[in-house]
Every structure is written in C-alpha cells, then in structure tokens.
Amino acid sequence: MIHDSRWDPTVTRLRGAKRVVALTGAGISAESGVPTFRGPEGLWKNFRPEDLATPEAFARDPQLVWEWYIWRRGRIAPCAPNPAHHALVTLEQRIPDFTLITQNVDGLHRRARSRNVLHLHGTIWEVRCTGCGRVEENRDPDLAFPPLCPACGKLRRPNVVWFGEALDPTILSRAEEALQKCEILLVVGTSAVVQPAASMALWAKKAGAYVVEINLEPTPLSRAVDMSFQGKAGEILPRML
C-alpha cells in the first residue's frame, strides 16, 4: 500500500486520543445498499421531502407516508453493516470516551455492535403513538394500515424526526456535550445540509477539536474542516484505523 502523508496527522491524533466523536450520515450506509437522500441515486430524486418527511405530509396522507416507510424498511432489512460501520466499532473499543452521533435511521450502527450511539433523527424500526406518545420497537414487514396504538387507539407513526420537528432534547444535549469535549471529530458520509447536524462539525471545531471529513465529494463543510478525505467510507475508515 502506498504511503500517503496526508493521513499522518489524523492517524497520529487517533492513536493518542481519549475523546473521539464520529458523526455519520446516509453515505456510511451506501455501501451496504441503503439509499442516500441526495445525489443522483438519492431518495429525493424520486420523492419530494415535503410530501413524505414532514408532520404536515403525515397529517394530510398518513397512508402514503406509511407506504413509503414500509417500502424503505423493505429496502433496509436485508442490508448488513459494511467495513465503515465495523471500523467505528473497532475505534470505540480503542478510545476511552467514544460517542457515535448518527443521522441515520437504519439501525446499522447498532447491528454492527456500536454501543454508544445517539440517533439524532430516530429509528425506522420504532413506531410512536400520535396520541399517548408510547414508543415500541416494530419490524413488521407487512404493517397493516392504519397502525393503531394498543394503549389508546390513536394512529401510530414512524419514530423518526421529520423536517420542522425538534430533535429529542436529551439526545441533542448529549451530542452537544460530546462535541464540546472531543479531541477529534470524524464526519462521515453526510451532505451537511440538514440542521442542526450540519453545524455540529463547526461547534466541535470552535471548541478545539481536530475535524476530519470523509465523503465521496466536497460538501459545504470541506473548506472548514482540518482534513477532508474524498472516497468511500468503507475503504477510508478501515485503512485509517
């Protein structure tokens, strides 16, 4: 393997680091076969976010929204974690204080056995009652419509965060805390356009972290970070470790 000196500062820092955060987006699961949102093959190419990923869309046509989520569950279910997910598990085992913040709802980090995972945008494998708020795991591939709450009889929705909705304040403050104190932040496979996740690299940088981006292409963050690697997460992350 050819030695590339651009890797040295990151590799050296990772070796000595005690507090590391990884922030991941849809790109980390792309090599597992999970569709991303943006880009030529992305979900938003064929679907409009405002028709499917907003509370207004769900209020207007819950069946349409549920059909989309059931279809996505079917796409995700056969997908397995890839070398990038596994590399982050290895990193967690080496670093005393490691936090994985993910925007992904696919559950692949947990399946890979990452332990300290903060799901900023929820999970596609849970349902939440719009009446009483009860949350339950649900992996039913043929979820019948309408999915009603066994406790209060109201309609249940996917337990994800749609545009215009607030993130869980507990998860957000745990993420903020980890970003404030980390020495290194790895930003992997996110287009960095959806807030507040898109600002997290800047928060960490301001607090003194060394920020490394891994993405197939440049993003709005690329100029602001300390090091930007272009390529597949499933190739770069294992090599970096």
Is residue 121 close enough to count as binding ligand BJW by CB under 6 A? yes
Coil, helix or strand for 82?
coil
Is residue 160 close enough to count as binding ligand BJW by CB under 6 A? yes
Coil, helix or strand for 103?
coil
What are 181's two structure tokens?
């104190």
**Contact present, 158 and 87 (Cβ < 8 Å):** no
Closer by beta carbon to ligand BJW, 27 or else 107? 27
Taking CB under 6 A as the criterion, the residue among 14, 20, 37, 85 binding ligand BJW is 37
Closer by beta carbon to ligand BJW, 18 or else 195? 195
The least CB distance from residue 68 to ligand BJW, in Å, is 8
How would you classify residue 48: left for phi > 0, otherwise alpha for psi between -120 and 50, otherwise beta?
beta
Closer by beta carbon to ligand BJW, 9 or else 164? 164
In total, the chain counts a number of residues equal to 241
121 annotated active-site = yes
What are 44's two structure tokens?
């938003």
Closer by beta carbon to ligand BJW, 85 or else 232? 232
**Contact present, 176 and 150 (Cβ < 8 Å):** no
What are 35's two structure tokens?
């569709």
**Contact present, 93 and 15 (Cβ < 8 Å):** no
The least CB distance from residue 199 to ligand BJW, in Å, is 8
Is residue 73 close enough to count as binding ligand BJW by CB under 6 A? no
Taking CB under 6 A as the criterion, the residue among 12, 63, 93, 195 binding ligand BJW is 195
Is residue 55 close enough to count as binding ligand BJW by CB under 6 A? no
The least CB distance from residue 16 to ligand BJW, in Å, is 25
From the list 120, 131, 130, the residue with the least C-alpha distance to 66 is 130
Pairing of strands 135-137, 210-215: unpaired
Taking CB under 6 A as the criterion, the residue among 7, 39, 172, 180 binding ligand BJW is 39
Task: Round to whole Å and give the CA distance between 199 and 230.
Answer: 20
Residues interacting with ligand BJW, by CB under 6 A?
A: 25-27, 30-31, 36-39, 42, 53, 103, 105, 121, 160-166, 189-191, 193-196, 214-217, 219, 232-233
Residues identified as active-site: 121
